[in-house]
Amino acid sequence: MKRMLFQGFSDAVGFVGGALGGYWLGILMGWDVFGDGYGAGSIMGILAIGLGGGAGLHAARIWQKANLKSEDDA
């Protein structure tokens, strides 16, 4: 149970952190995700957030494999 809690928490932190990183990268690139309509800048901002969230989740899973011992090891 404790292992599942750590996995869920690290997944959430990785995804949200990555999505925020993607959002700020989009802002730096001039892509306004909250702009009027669905222009190219808005679509690119949405894409940056999605890719950032996915990358953050992937990084969290890599961290889990490196730092959380399996239930078989316990």
Q: Which tokens is 56 given? A: 């953050």
Tens digit of pLDDT per residue, the chain (74 long)?
888 898 999 999 999 999 999 999 999 999 989 888 889 999 999 999 999 999 999 999 999 999 877 655 54
Q: What is the pTM of this model?
A: 0.83
Q: How far apart are CA 53 and CA 22, in angstroms?
A: 7
